[in-house]
Amino acid sequence: MRTISIDIETYSSIDLTKCGVYRYCESPDFEVLLFGYAVDGGPVTVVDLACGETIPKDIISALEDESIIKYAFNANFERICLSRFLGKNTGEYIDPRSWRCTMVWAAYMGLPLSLKGVGAILKTDKQKLDEGKNLIRYFCKPCAPTKTNKGRTRNLPEHAPEKWEEFKAYNLRDVETEMAIQQRLVKYPVPDFVWEEYRIDQEINDRGVFLDMELVRNAIKIDALSKTHLTSAIRKITALDNPNSIPQMKSWLSDNGLEIDSLDKKSVADLVKNGPDRFTELFLLRQQLAKSSVKKYQAMQNAVCKDGRARGMFQFYGANRTGRWAGRLIQLQNLPQNHLDNLEFARELVRRNWYATLREKYEDVPDTLSQLIRTAFTACGDKTLFVADFSAIEARVIAWMAGEEWRQKVFSEGKDIYCASASQMFHVPVEKHGINGHLRQKGKIAELALGYGGSVGALKTMGALDMGLEEEELQPLVNAWRDANPKIVRLWRDVDRAVKNVVRNKTADETHGIRFIYQGAMLFIILPSGRRLAYVKPRIGENRFGGESITYEGVGATKKWERLESYGPKFVENIVQAIARDILCYAMSTLQHCSIIMHIHDEIVIEGNRNMSLEAICEQMGRTPPWAKGLLLRADGYTTDFYKKD
């Protein structure tokens, strides 16, 4: 026995989509219903556990045998559920090192993150059965008690024997589909070092992060009180039955002389600034009422496990264009920032549920709750958090790739890249809070918006006009940045030329240390780390301006599989962000002896003893990988008892 392909069907009264698999398995009524498996690519066997069958002993032993590779689509689900099946407690899980995720394999190849989607794109002989959703709803979730079902809250095999046989066939087909995907992808294996990254990711997900549930519970209570207060205040102004109703609010505003098209977040913010003064208070109240950050507290309450830790918040290879992570459950990738002067004081008011004092000290209660979200992630017991992140990682990577010497010099001397960029653009010295300090903001907005071929539109999207820049300043700012960074501009063109050459001639090319190859109707971009970015069925197409562009198949903004368009600067963005991701993985590998509990963008959070050295953590994190000679890295950090933006 060398490999086992596995798919299971389970029951739990806990909502998997809201709570995640770690919490899902903690339900007292959790059970594995069906266990489908195939050994070494052989025929599939379905073990009907719900009807009393048992899994063979050699298969049970294989689940924790590191010499036997276990395959599953979204293997985290199978591994965690089977950990509970084997009797392991919260916080104890099957070691992930011998598990391989077919979903990760598909993502590595630029394919969708669903079994049905991958099977359809690869046109495998065995496709996932469509009736699965209804069968899962029937057997895997609680049902509503009715007269027809005699008041039961769960459907068992004996309640629908024919459906149960269909369910077993569905389970069998899932294993067949997974194996068919493996067979189609066997020529394109995931490198061992990526599977090692996956192991580290799974261990971080298994470890979880401790939550201050007193803060979480009281934040939810205070938010409810705040919403009642705000609704009452708006009702007092408008006399509306439902102040949350957009049609009612629009109608009331119209009756009072103000016609508006939208009441979305951006429109209301604009009305607060530029609308008639007589409506300012109303729009400020509505702005507070619309704050949805409390949903993250509710997500924490849903996901927290019995030991007070939230787990499963990171989707490995969730962004298959770069290989970066995607957030799950609490969504750590978009946490609100904190700017409160006395964060500890505000936090303590919420923990004690002192709503009146909170309202008195902080006029905008929803915004205060929003700023405290990060602080719900805490260290357990007498430990503390060590937070370290890379300084300007993407700016460093693109400067290194392009060979833009003046930027490299800025980093080697430890200077501010925004000041240096402004100085290079406007040919005058620029110092933060010093000489020509007002130009730093222009340098910053240019750095953030223009590195990947962005122009006036990108500056506007990044909020250039809101930051005080005038419309007529934008194009000169684009020109100045590009003139100051000729090697980065050349990098865009060289990558564009290389990709078009490879796709047009089905050949290979190389530029700036990046290799591009065409293989099996795929475009592969080979990064310095050896990892590949994959683009499915690339073609030379025509963009909206009538020029040449590259198109390929992938999951678009609508979450559907479609033909997408790209071009030189966009490929550069993918490459730079992918390299930054590989650097983060290298850092996570060098720090894996520490207890990494979170990573957000280019930041790592470690839970450790107070006598650990922050300086040593930052030094280790800032080490340049052996495949990135000449790249200048730096990591900075701080210690804290609760997570925050320092």
Please tell me the predicted confidence (pLDDT) of residue 468.
77
State which residues of the chain have pLDDT below 50. none
Give the global pTM: 0.93
Closest to 30 (Cα-Cα) out of 17, 15, 11, 47: 11
Sign of CA dihedral 573, 574, 577, 578: negative
What token pair was written down for 584? 């983060």
Please tell me the predicted confidence (pLDDT) of residue 541.
86
The CA-atom distances, in angstroms, between 459 and each of 425, 470, 479, 558 are: 16, 11, 12, 24
Please tell me the predicted confidence (pLDDT) of residue 265.
83
CA 571 – CA 410 distance, rounded (Å): 25
Phi, psi of 324 (to 5 degrees): -70, 165
CA 450 – CA 569 distance, rounded (Å): 10
Per-residue pLDDT tens over the stretch 550-560: 999 998 888 89
CA 36 – CA 169 distance, rounded (Å): 10
Q: What residue ranges define each of the domains in the chain, with the CATH number in brackets?
A: 3-190 (3.30.420.10), 207-378 (no CATH), 405-484 (no CATH), 579-640 (no CATH)
DSSP letters along 341-401, please?
Answer: TTHHHHHHHHHTT-HHHHHHH-S-HHHHHHHTSGGGEE--TT-EEEEEEESSHHHHHHHHH
Q: What is the CA radius of gyration of the chain?
A: 27
